[in-house]
Amino acid sequence: MLRSMTAYARATREGAWGQATWELRGVNNRYLDVVLRLPEELRALESRLRERIGERISRGKIECALRLSLTAQDGGQLSVDALLARQLADAAHALAALAPGAGALGVGELLRWPGVIRQAPPDPARIEEPVLGLMDEALDDFIDTREREGARIGELVAARCAEIAQIVAEVRNRQPLLVERARTRLQERLTQVMETLDRDRVEQEIVIFATKLDVSEEMDRLDTHVAEVRRVIGQDQPSGRRLDFLMQELNREANTLGSKSTDADSTRASVDLKVLIEQIREQIQNVE
């Protein structure tokens, strides 16, 4: 099954320690590029998180952001910065002397001043496992989304492969008639130019000419590549790079068909093949 590299997932978990939310966003990329945004309290988890992601995803740029809100209990004991509070109180008294009518600075206002109340750093050990477990949940959803989008891409690729196979079959069926027509035209032209013909030599030239027009090998290779594409999109493993290589091979054969074309139908078939191949290529650029 194909996997798209474009996806989004969000997972939230609450506990006595507080609340954590993971947000994962994925876009296409040639390699795996993981961008982690973590609170300072959990920087030590970065290597373990990268390892977890790398075990399940092989390609794409993955942006992972963690939002963490800790309860007072897990955030550590509260303490008062007495020095800062005293400085604020002294400043308030000094201002009161300058403006006797001004209200006194209350305790509540002091406590709300930034830095007066301090919270000890939380114990990371209490929240590491919940955060890692939550990442696994987010990855499950993220990969499910990639697989659903990949299934839609697979259906499109399979449909285009069926159209390619149909065009190849039509060209193969017309090939004997095209060769015979070319043979007849060549004989007519040679007859008009020369009164005395070396029949054996003419026949040799016609055989050489017919051989150059023969595209049976190209048709066989196109069929082989289409069969391989169908096999690959049914595999349960990353296949974007292999599909990209197969598109190059398909395009090479379509170009050869165009270069050997001797009639409008064959030229049109070559163009139609290249259009279908390009449509597949555009889709598989987003395949893991």
Q: What is the pLDDT of residues 52-72, one digit of tens each?
A: 999 999 999 999 999 998 775
Task: Please state at what angle helix 125-193 crosses helix 216-233, rounded to 10 degrees.
Answer: 170
Q: Mean per-residue pLDDT for 204-227?
A: 78
Give the rounded distance of the alpha carbon of 64 from its chain centre: 15
Same domain, 189 and 110: no
Distances (CA, A) of 79 to 74, 105, 121, 129, 288: 14, 20, 12, 28, 51
Cα gap 280→278, rounded to integer Å:
5
Residue type, 223: D
CB 287 within 8 A of CB 239: yes
For residue 254, being part of any structural domain is answered with yes
pLDDT in tens, 19-59: 999 999 999 998 999 999 999 888 889 999 999 999 999 99
pLDDT of residue 90: 74
For residue 184, being part of any structural domain is answered with yes
CB 84 within 8 A of CB 92: no
User: Considering its fold, how many domains does the chain have in total?
Assistant: 3
Buried b (16+ CB within 10 A) or exposed e, 35-72: ebebbebbeebeeebeebbeeebebbbbebebebebee
pLDDT of residue 63: 96
pTM above 0.75, yes or no: no
Same domain, 180 and 261: yes
- Determine the length of the chain: 288
Same domain, 87 and 105: yes
CA nearest 120: which of 158, 167, 53, 74?
74
Cα gap 29→32, rounded to integer Å:
7
For residue 1, being part of any structural domain is answered with no
φ, ψ of residue 237 in degrees (nearest 5): -160, 160
Which position has the token pair 């897990």?
74
Same domain, 265 and 231: yes
Q: Mean per-residue pLDDT for 193-206?
A: 61
Distances (CA, A) of 207 to 88, 200, 210: 103, 11, 5
Query: Can you give the residue range of the structural domain that contains 83?
Result: 78-119
Residues of the chain above pLDDT 70, percent: 78
Same domain, 204 and 241: yes
Residue 110 has pLDDT above 60, yes or no: yes
Same domain, 142 and 16: yes
Check residues 201 and 76 and name the one with the higher pLDDT: 201
pLDDT in tens, 235-255: 888 899 999 999 999 999 999
pLDDT of residue 197: 59
pLDDT in tens, 129-144: 999 999 999 999 999 9
Same domain, 153 and 141: no
pLDDT in tens, 4-17: 999 999 999 998 88
CATH of the domain at 20: 3.30.230
φ, ψ of residue 7 in degrees (nearest 5): -165, 165
pLDDT of residue 113: 66
Same domain, 142 and 246: no
Same domain, 221 and 255: yes
Same domain, 11 and 143: yes
CA angle (203 as vertex; 202, 206 as ends), nearest 5: 90
Same domain, 96 and 209: no
